[in-house]
Amino acid sequence: MTELSDYPKSDCVRVFDIEAISIPIVYNKYGDYDPNGMMYVLKKDSERIQREARERFSLNPPQPYKDVQPLVLRANKGDEIQVNFYNKLDRRASIHVQGLKYNVLTSDGAEVGYNPDTTTRDFISYKWYAEKEGVYLFSDMGDMRSDEDGTNVHGLFGAIIVEKPQSSWFDPVSGKAIESGLFADIYNPTEPSFREYAVFFHDELEIKNKD
């Protein structure tokens, strides 16, 4: 088995600046919502998403905003992934990825046993290694409670999709290159192009009606 210290140096290091934010999440046009919603967002999109989502939440009934959705990142097989995580919540939080290789002492996103605490109240940087193609869920392990006092039930999860080497991804509507998104057109110099959909099943979430 390849040790992390022997992991081949990637030609590409993908850097993602990610924030964890608190925001009311409106789920449908009838105004059903989670008042304690949380989500991961790219730092560059955070202010816009919070502003637009809160404007729509103030309507009667509250309305959803299209960019309030699980964060889906993409990388190519062989890439090194650096996640700069900014925690804007009023509690400790982290990003723990399932299935990608990483150094458990620095990038686990958890506080386990005698390992260093890799959750944070403000900022921490993680490194992941895209060894295999596939879909890899990530979520918060700063608070692992499964009830409404936890974080995952309120939306603090996402995924990173590892594509074939040399792939690139674009918005299906505008055709512009994208950093994240549930939907993407995937292009590869040697393989057929395809449209990709990321689907999440979010169960037992907290819901209140418009009143």
Please report the pLDDT score of residue 1 as a whole number. Answer: 45
Range of lowest pLDDT (55-64, 65-74, 116-125, 202-211)? 202-211
pLDDT over 80 (residue 5)? no
* pLDDT 10s digits, 100-112: 999 999 999 999 9
Superfamily of structural domain 11-197: Cupredoxins -  blue copper proteins (2.60.40.420)
203 contact partners, CB below 8 Å, separation of at least 6: none
pLDDT of residue 211: 79
Grade residue 10 by pLDDT with cuts at 50, 70 and 90.
Answer: low
Amino acid 9: pLDDT: 56
Going from N- to C-terminal start, the domains of the chain cover 11-197
**Could you read off the pLDDT of 136-148 as tens digits, one per residue?**
999 999 998 888 8
Across residues 119-147, what is the average pLDDT? 96
Residue 44, helix vs strand vs coil: helix
Average pLDDT, whole number, for the chain? 94
Could you tell me if 129 and 7 are in contact, meaning their C-beta atoms sit under 8 angstroms apart? yes
Which residue in 80, 71, 73, 74 sits closest to 164, CA to CA?
Answer: 74
Please check the confidence at residue 130 and state whether its pLDDT lies above 50: yes
Answer whether residue 210 shows pLDDT above 80: no
Q: What is the pLDDT of residues 46-59, one digit of tens each?
A: 999 999 999 999 99
User: In whole angstroms, what is the distance from residue 118 CA to residue 138 CA?
Assistant: 14
Q: Can you tell me which residue has the tokens 């509250």?
A: 62
